[in-house]
Copies of this chain bind each other. A is one copy, B any other.
Amino acid sequence: MASKERIARLKEETRINILDAALQIVKQEGWQALSLRKIADAIEYTAPIIYEYFANKEAILLELTRKGFLLLDRDLQQAKAEHRLPAKQLEAMWLAYWNFAFANKELYQVMFGVSTNCCCELVNQLPEAELPWDAFTPAIGELMHIEDLDSDVICTKYYTFWSVVHGLISINILGRDSSDDINRQVLRDAITGIIRSITP
């Protein structure tokens, strides 16, 4: 009876080992270098064993994406908790978003852009993908004095924010040449600009 649990615990452990190995490879060599045999090597198994834990390679990336969103959400919540005014909260959160992307460059790439399936499919398979939305929109709503967080106005503002930040990150992640100073300048400029534009 108890041995079942021990075995289940072991299985769970190698599942985690697979994800850890995958993330480590992604972080060290980039997501294009990730292969099942490389993962298997790292956990000292042969490749097909992975299919006992994941349906396919895509499922591993999806799981990494989930972990990424949870990690990102943790950072966002932390940044949010440090301020009371919604304007300050937004500023801190987008800065945290920015920092997360560069602290986890490859992971960020996996979260956006690598997976074949599109955003809508992603949200279906991965409720965690909506965590940023849940984190940001209350502050936007409070700032604009709008109760309905699903209204088009908030949606538009949220996408404007996200576009600026994600765009700047994308441009920088695929090859940083412009100085970090200019980037931070652009980021702060854009964010404070948007915040001011929606402050009554």
Name A's B-contacting residues (CB within 8 A): 32, 112-113, 116-123, 152, 155-156, 159-160, 162-171, 174-178, 182-183, 185-186, 189-190, 193-194, 197
> Which of A112, A120, A171, A197 has the most CB atoms of chain B within a 10 A radius of its CB?
A171
Report whether A166 and B171 are in contact in the complex, using a CB–CB cutoff of 8 Å.
Answer: yes
**Chain A interface helix/strand/loop/mixed:** helix
Extra contacts, 11 of them, besides A118-B177, A163-B167, A193-B193 (Cβ < 8 A), are A112-B174, A113-B170, A118-B174, A118-B176, A119-B176, A123-B177, A155-B178, A163-B164, A164-B164, A166-B167, A167-B167
Question: This chain: how many copies in the complex?
Answer: 2
Determine the residue in chain B with the shortest Cβ distance to A116.
B32
> Given the complex of chains A and B, what is the CA–CA distance between A116 and B168 in angstroms?
18
Whether A174 contacts B32 in the complex (CB less than 8 A), given A156-B185, A164-B163, A182-B152, comes out as: no
> Given the complex of chains A and B, what is the CA–CA distance between A69 and B159 in angstroms?
26
Determine the residue in chain B with the shortest Cβ distance to A112.
B174
Whether A156 contacts B186 in the complex (CB less than 8 A), given A166-B170, A171-B162, comes out as: yes
> Given the complex of chains A and B, what is the CA–CA distance between A96 and B66 in angstroms?
35
Whether A174 contacts B113 in the complex (CB less than 8 A), given A163-B186, A164-B167, A190-B163, comes out as: yes
